[in-house]
Structure 1
Amino acid sequence: MTMPVLELREVSRRYDDGPPALHEASLTVRPGEAVAILGPSGSGKSTLLNLIAGLDRPDTGTVTVDGVRVDKLGEAGSALYRRSKIGMVFQFFNLLDDLTVTDNVVLPARLAGTARREAERRAAELLELLGIDRHARARPGRLSGGERQRVAVARALMNRPALLLADEPTGALDTAAGQDVSRLLSGLNADGQTIVVVTHDLALARSCTNRTVQIADGRIIEDVRSQAVASQAVR
């Protein structure tokens, strides 16, 4: 069987003297899956995301992404891991407004040591794929919310990550732009990209993933696979 892209085994994380933010969570995501992590505020979604991203470490258990033991990485190793193994899409885009769209997308590749010309070629391919190549020289502040999120997705895909993490990717968008981003994620998954979406929005989960994992009080309480989401064009 194909090696999982993501594997958590009995992962727990507690902060201060409160109850566990995450308690003995186990989760396996295989190549090509699109998984939604669902739960209300305070359920443990953000803790789970931070552990997968290497931004935090579990107290117990293991986190493995594309063969890398994320829970054992130091600060430098975690930074390298985030550049090479995962792409991250955030609710509020996190784009640099003083850089052009192209320069925002190129940035992860340049940090990884990719030559400028090669990075710009890859960025041009992604911007065309995501239907925003006409904005290559624009500043992000001049774009709509949906367009800025497409730029953020392009940046996240720049280094061909094994896993794309999306944290409330439609939370700052209106309904139409949110549906556009949902179709985008579904199309990327149809092309083989493994995706984990962290959200409280059940409609988003149903529209762009084929598996939902429910978290409550730090525990995974449900893991349900649905029929595969129909393939949709990225544009």
Structure 2
Amino acid sequence: MTTPVIELRGVSRRYDDGPPALHEASLTVQPGEAVAILGPSGSGKSTLLNLIAGLDRPDTGTVTVDGVRVDRLGEAGSALYRRSKVGMVFQFFNLLDDLTVTDNVVLPARLAGMARAEADRRAAELLELLGIDRHARAYPGRLSGGERQRVAVARALMNRPTLLLADEPTGALDTAAGQDVSRLLTGLNAEGQTIVVVTHDLALARSCTNRTVRIADGRITEDLGSQAVASDAVASQAAR
């Protein structure tokens, strides 16, 4: 039987005295899946992503990613885990404007101890793969939003992560650039990359994932395969 890439069991997280941001969530993601986590603002989807990424810890339950008990890691262990197991793509890119595209991409590898020459070779391969090698010496501020997101994806893939996490990856992009990033994620998944995308955009979920998990009020309410997602989208458009 295949070992899951992600396994959450009975995970809850509460902040201060408010209601739980996440309540007894259980989720399993297999290698090669592309999963969308859908829900409105405040539903708990970002909390779920942060727990998987090791940026936060649950109050109860267990979080296991690629055999690592993420909920048990200390600060140093969490940093090492993110460098070796997880690539992250954010809505607003989080690129360093005073570094070139290449220097942004190689940064995770350099932090992981990779030699500069090897890191440069890996970065060049990724930039060519993602169609932005002509911008290798440019600075992020001179690129379009879609190009900057491609740089962010290259950086996320630098250390060959088991898992790619994307937090609203098209949220800051226009429609054309968003579709471009969607096709990019689809292509990466077709090559075997396990992907989890957090979004409120049903169109993005439909186009680049094969499974959708819905969250409302901190609870996982639905877990839909690709056919159900497509039917849901058709129904939503018909209702407009």
TM-score of the superposed pair, with normalisation by structure 1: 0.96
Deviations 1:124-182 (A, max 9, x none): 00000000000000001000000000000000000000000000000000000000000
The alignment's C-alpha RMSD in Å is 4.5
Alpha-carbon distance change, 233 to 170 in structure 1, aligned in 2, over 3 angstroms:
farther
CA distance in 1: counterparts of 2:98 and 2:187, whole angstroms: 30
Q: Who is 1:15 aligned against?
A: 15
Q: Who is 1:200 aligned against?
A: 200
CA distance in 2: counterparts of 1:231 and 1:152, whole angstroms: 32
CA distance in 1: counterparts of 2:139 and 2:239, whole angstroms: 23
Flag structure 2 segments of 5+ consecutive residues without an equivalent: 228-232
Alpha-carbon distance change, 218 to 231 in structure 1, aligned in 2, over 3 angstroms:
closer
CA distance in 1: counterparts of 2:54 and 2:89, whole angstroms: 15
Tell me the SS of whatever aligns to 1:122: helix
Tell me the SS of whatever aligns to 2:61: strand
Alpha-carbon distance change, 231 to 202 in structure 1, aligned in 2, over 3 angstroms:
closer
Alpha-carbon distance change, 34 to 231 in structure 1, aligned in 2, over 3 angstroms:
farther
Runs (4+) off by over 6 Å: 228-235
CA distance in 1: counterparts of 2:173 and 2:156, whole angstroms: 18
Alpha-carbon distance change, 137 to 155 in structure 1, aligned in 2, over 3 angstroms:
same
Corresponding residue to 1:232 among 200, 214, 237: 237
Tell me the SS of whatever aligns to 2:3: coil
CA distance in 2: counterparts of 1:152 and 1:38, whole angstroms: 22
Deviations 1:74-129 (A, max 9, x none): 00000000100000000000000110000000000000000000000000000000
Deviations 1:34-63 (A, max 9, x none): 000000000001110110111110000000
Alpha-carbon distance change, 71 to 211 in structure 1, aligned in 2, over 3 angstroms:
same
Flag structure 1 segments of 5+ consecutive residues without an equivalent: none
Could you tell me the percent identity over the aligned residues? 92
Alpha-carbon distance change, 194 to 231 in structure 1, aligned in 2, over 3 angstroms:
farther
